[in-house]
Amino acid sequence: MSFLLVTHSHLRWLILIVALAAVLKFAWGWLRGGTFQRPDRILASSFSGLMDLQAALGLILLVWSGLAGAGFPMFRIEHAVTMTIAAVVAHLNTRWKNAEDKIRFRNSLFIVIDTLIIVFIGVARLPGGWGR
């Protein structure tokens, strides 16, 4: 279980790197009026896929440690629900896959930003929050 916890803990940094790259790329594409191409789709998919992996690891940890004796305190449930919502929000960019490029860049940008805000709220629900 410690391997899962370490993986869950370190995966957040990869998510943050991909999110920052996505914010920069989508903002640039939106501002300059670029074409939403395959690398942009890969970046959006990578972000949402990493969010899915993080949520899955978190849910496994929640159930496993909860049944192993740690229980299910409310802060862990709140964290799990908030992060599940973040993972769902990360997938919303597929709603605009047929939109014009400028709208796809704009919406993808705000989806990543919104997801990061929800993640911030979810981490803040944990004891120690960002100070861990």
Using pLDDT thresholds of 50, 70 and 90, give the confidence band for residue 2: confident
Encode pLDDT of 56-77 as tens digits: 999 999 999 999 988 999 999 9
Report angle CA 122, 120, 104 to the nearest 5 degrees.
Answer: 110
78-97 confidence digits (pLDDT tens): 999 999 999 999 999 989 98
For residue 1, what pLDDT is reported? Answer: 78
